[in-house]
């Protein structure tokens, strides 16, 4: 997990912007190839109409250098961006502004070229190049920067206003006032600026939602990293709602369950690594499902076993009963599906300190306390007593508050000396 989620978000945004720039370059290359090709085909197939519209001022080949040149510009721009993407680079902000200015100027150049070959030149203000501004304004949203959208709209509006001012000044007196009047063109210039503002607003709204989604995923991943890969979705959702505050170090009542596959060393000697991993995955899959179903988490795997905890980081006030129910469900399902697999489980309830242990780079949610050590020792006793589930008197006492029939389903093994402890511990076998 990245030490700084904000840096990860910025890298993701930079990558998205770069790939959007590649997409824009390809789209615009296609647009100008289509426009140039359409004019050329029209001039070839409908020469009289083409000559009438252009008043014989140009041939079908005349527009090709302009449209072809712009398409070539976007072709090489796209290749440069692809190379930058492969190197893991990012598009400098200055380059984005410069490119926005250059490409938004293409319609302006087109208007001026048409006005120079067709009289009166003011008519060029109402021909297709004037509407290309909208293409660039709309596609500016792919840059995921509202200021670039505003900039593109402003460049389009100002350039069109300047060109309109220049061409209307040379308009003949008999020119239609709607076409040649400056107020009408000022309205169009304002429309370009307003379009940039609108696209910028939409872009900013979408970017905000994208960032919120990323932060939600990052937070979910953080919870998973801290509490382990095998936390149920319900637990993750509840931790997210509480902003994972339960990860803070604190003392709480928990029930710890240790699980171990017996004689696994002998099994490993007679089976291939693939068979060993396959068995572990199938057994652990059953165990994980049952632990999750009973509101517990797998805190850590221990080779051919694991440690599960109930009551941390979240508690249901029935944690010990849930742990015992999970153990019984695991026993029932494994005994049915894998009758040859021998295993044991030990459970103990008590006070523990829970919280994150580690550095800023890597942390682990850890359960610390005598409850963990004793639960492990009780699990080891399952071999001595030939039992699959052993529990302490604390587990029996707490679980019996929920399950009134529990005492009838356990066998008292008496006080047992547990390795590493001076005092005896009362142990029960779950029947």
Residues sharing a CB contact under 8 Å with residue 56, sequence separation 6 or more, in sequence order: none
Token look-up 């239609």 returns 176
CB 257 within 8 A of CB 326: yes
- Rounded average pLDDT over 249-266: 84
Give tens-digit pLDDT for 160-193.
999 988 888 776 666 666 666 778 888 899 999 9
CA 122, 127, 129, 131 dihedral sign is positive
- Give backbone dihedrals phi and psi of 214, rounded to 5 degrees, phi first: -65, -45
pLDDT score, position 194: 95
pLDDT score, position 3: 47
* Of 83-87, 111-115, 332-336, 358-362, highest mean pLDDT: 332-336
The rounded distance, in Å, linking the Cα atoms of 284 and 60 is 73
Residue 238 vs residue 2, higher pLDDT: 238
Q: Is the pLDDT of residue 323 over 80?
A: yes
Mean pLDDT of the chain: 81
Q: Which domains does the chain have, with CATH numbers?
A: 5-221 (no CATH), 230-430 (3.30.70.1230)
Tokens of 2: 């990245």
Q: How confident is the model at residue 358 (pLDDT cuts 50, 70, 90)?
A: low
pLDDT score, position 61: 79
Least confidently predicted of 81-95, 230-244, 277-291, 365-379: 230-244
Of residues 108, 365, 387, the one with CA closest to residue 252: 365
Give tens-digit pLDDT for 3-28.
455 666 677 778 888 888 888 889 88
pLDDT score, position 1: 42
pLDDT score, position 2: 43
The rounded distance, in Å, linking the Cα atoms of 169 and 216 is 57
Q: Is the pLDDT of residue 157 over 90?
A: yes
Token look-up 């910028």 returns 200
pLDDT score, position 340: 80
pLDDT score, position 405: 56
Least confidently predicted of 199-208, 263-272, 298-307, 366-375: 263-272
Can you give the three-state secondary structure of 165-180, one letter per residue? HHHHCCCCCCCCHHHH
Of residues 104, 205, 225, the one with CA closest to residue 160: 104
């Amino acid at each position: 997990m990245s030490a700084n989620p904000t840096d990860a978000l910025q890298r993701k945004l930079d990558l998205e912007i770069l790939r959007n720039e590649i997409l824009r370059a390809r789209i615009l290359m296609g647009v100008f190839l289509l426009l140039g090709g359409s004019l050329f085909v029209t001039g070839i197939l409908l020469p009289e109409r083409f000559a009438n519209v252009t008043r014989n001022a140009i041939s079908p080949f005349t527009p090709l250098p302009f449209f072809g040149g712009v398409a070539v510009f976007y072709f090489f721009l796209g290749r440069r961006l692809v190379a930058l993407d492969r190197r893991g680079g990012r598009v400098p902000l200055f380059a984005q502004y410069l490119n926005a200015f250059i490409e938004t100027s293409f319609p302006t150049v087109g208007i001026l070229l048409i006005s120079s070959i067709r009289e009166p030149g003011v008519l060029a203000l109402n021909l297709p190049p004037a509407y290309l501004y909208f293409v660039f304004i709309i596609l500016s949203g792919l840059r995921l920067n509202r200021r670039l959208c505003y900039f593109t709209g402003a460049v389009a509006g100002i350039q069109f206003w300047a060109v309109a001012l220049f061409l209307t000044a040379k308009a003949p007196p008999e020119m239609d006032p709607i076409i040649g009047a400056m107020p009408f063109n000022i309205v169009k210039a304002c429309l370009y600026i307003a379009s940039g503002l609108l696209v910028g607003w939409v872009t900013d709204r979408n970017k905000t939602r994208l960032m919120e989604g990323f932060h939600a995923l990052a937070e979910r991943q953080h919870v998973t990293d801290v509490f382990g890969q095998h936390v149920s979705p319900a637990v993750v959702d509840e931790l997210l709602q509480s902003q994972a505050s339960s990860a803070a170090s604190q003392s709480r009542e928990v029930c710890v369950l240790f699980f171990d596959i017996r004689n696994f060393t002998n099994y490993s000697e007679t089976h291939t690594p693939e068979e060993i991993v396959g068995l572990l995955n199938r057994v652990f899959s059953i165990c994980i499902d049952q632990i999750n179903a009973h509101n517990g988490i797998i805190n850590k795997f221990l080779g051919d076993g694991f440690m599960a905890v109930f009551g941390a980081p979240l508690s249901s006030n029935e944690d010990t009963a849930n742990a015992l129910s999970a153990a019984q469900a695991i026993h029932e399902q494994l005994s049915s599906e894998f009758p040859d697999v021998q295993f044991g489980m030990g459970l103990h309830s008590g006070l523990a300190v829970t919280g994150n242990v580690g550095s800023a780079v890597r942390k682990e949610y850890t359960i610390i306390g005598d409850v963990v050590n004793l639960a492990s020792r009780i699990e080891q006793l399952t071999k001595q007593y030939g039992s699959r589930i052993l529990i302490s008197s604390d587990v029996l006492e707490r679980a019996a508050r929920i399950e009134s029939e529990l005492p009838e389903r356990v066998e008292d093994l008496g006080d047992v000396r547990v390795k590493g402890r001076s005092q005896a511990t009362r142990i029960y076998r779950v029947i």
